[in-house]
Amino acid sequence: MMVRGFTFGALEGDRSKLRRCTSARGLTGICLALLAAVAAVLAPASRAAGPPAVPAEYADLYTVLAGKLREANALLAARGESWHDVTFAAELLAANGNQGEMLLRPQQMRAVEVYLDRMQFAGARGVKVGIKYPLLVDRFPRSAEYLAFYRRVADEVRRRNLRLLVQMTALFREPAFSQVPIEGYYAALTLDRYKSEKRQMAEAIVREIRPDLLTVENEPQTAATNTGLGITVAEFAELVRYVTAGLDRGGVRLGAGTGTWDDVAYVEALARIPGLDYVDLHLYPANRDFLTARPLRMAEIARRSGKRVVIGETWLYKARDRELTGPPVAAAPALFARDVYGFWEPLDVEFTTTVGRLSRTAGSDFTSFFWSRHFYGYVDYSEATARLEPAQLFRLANRAAVANMTADPPRLTVTGQTFRRLSTGR
């Protein structure tokens, strides 16, 4: 469920100052002064103590989701306490491939470095990076530059002793989610070409980027929507086999997976693929059986077949049951944009704790929270912000996060504090 990434737009227009930054691990000297000045401009108005009131239009949804989280925790409690060593991680939004050529600007690597430092401050032991298809395909414009960028990203991750999960799902078509004009590329796409180019990307990532984990495909319904290809369960499994068979992995663990809202048959098919190391679950809606019963069943299928389990993406999706019809979950910008509002924070806190319990019960080796910017900031709900388009709300959320990331010391939201306790025990 990959959308627009995260960029420190505040860094634009002062490259000479940025080049004078001498610290690769933190914000010091001129970098701190520059970013702090920008943060002061972007910082939202101070908020009274305690969570904001829930707007009337979302009161019913808030109540339902709170009940879903209580039910999930009761189910997990009934299964008894369990312990599994989980690498709790966060999405490296500053390197999200949906940003396209914005990633290739000189200042973007500085944004990546700052974001990594702030994820460490929040307690992350790993990060997930979305290197989106077809950015590294030879025939795609500027593919060599994208590869060089992601090599540097991986080097920065390793310098901080963080584990790295790379996911190579397809770029979004939806403009609210992606800044890459991809329609023309997808127009002539066939399943055979998709398989071949995904294999080419996997080879490049293993050879040049060397992540700890590489998810070659996920969310089959979302993949079909983005690429325009009708991908059946059998075709999905064949795609994963083609990409992974005989790949000179050099110690990289290979995986593939589904959303917990997808048909369990996808996991059953993946579990039968030789050489696949893990099944990667994307956990979003708390609706129906998507939060506990379904992922626990999927994890059990994977483990019975000797596969490890990873939760490669997760966040609390703010949707009513009746709103989960039609396109895949990830194709609904208006619903996804609800995540930015600060009145949801108590539920995000509870969801973070619940996913921690679920990760240990399901035996997840690596669990990554997607909207990591909300470890640092939210958008205040108002009549004005309620009228904004999703892309505008995403930009406001980024700005709120930048303000707190660049504070001295950085300021975590309660959600960020909860994640840090979950990951570090402190």
pLDDT tens string for the chain (426 positions)? 544 556 654 433 333 333 333 233 333 333 333 343 333 333 443 344 677 999 999 999 999 999 999 999 999 999 987 788 999 999 999 999 999 999 999 999 999 999 999 999 999 999 999 999 999 999 999 999 999 999 999 999 999 999 999 999 999 998 888 999 999 999 999 999 999 999 999 999 999 999 999 999 999 999 999 999 989 999 999 999 999 999 999 999 999 999 999 999 999 999 999 999 999 999 999 999 999 999 999 999 999 999 999 999 999 999 999 998 865 555 688 899 999 999 999 999 999 999 999 999 999 999 999 999 999 999 999 999 999 999 899 999 999 999 999 999 999 999 999 999 999 998
**Nearest in space to 213 (alpha carbons), one of 273, 177, 148, 167:** 167
Cβ atoms of 325 and 369 closer than 8 Å? no
Give the pairing type, strands 253-259 and 163-167.
Answer: unpaired
Distance CA 426, CA 415 (A): 14
The CB density around residue 79, as the number of other CB atoms within 10 Å, is: 11
Entry pTM = 0.90
Structural domains of the chain, with CATH: 9-46+55-424 (3.20.20.80)
Q: What pLDDT shows up at residue 17?
A: 38
**Nearest in space to 215 (alpha carbons), one of 309, 104, 284, 303:** 309
**Nearest in space to 9 (alpha carbons), one of 96, 97, 102:** 102
- Write the Ramachandran bin of 210: left for phi over 0, alpha for psi from -120 to 50, otherwise beta: left
Distance CA 337, CA 319 (A): 11
The CB density around residue 403, as the number of other CB atoms within 10 Å, is: 22
Q: What pLDDT shows up at residue 7?
A: 61
Give the pairing type, strands 126-130 and 213-215.
Answer: unpaired
- Burial of 131-153, coded b for 16+ CB within 10 Å and e otherwise, reads bbbbbbbeebeebeebbebbebb
Give the pairing type, strands 308-317 and 87-91.
Answer: unpaired
Q: What pLDDT shows up at residue 328?
A: 59
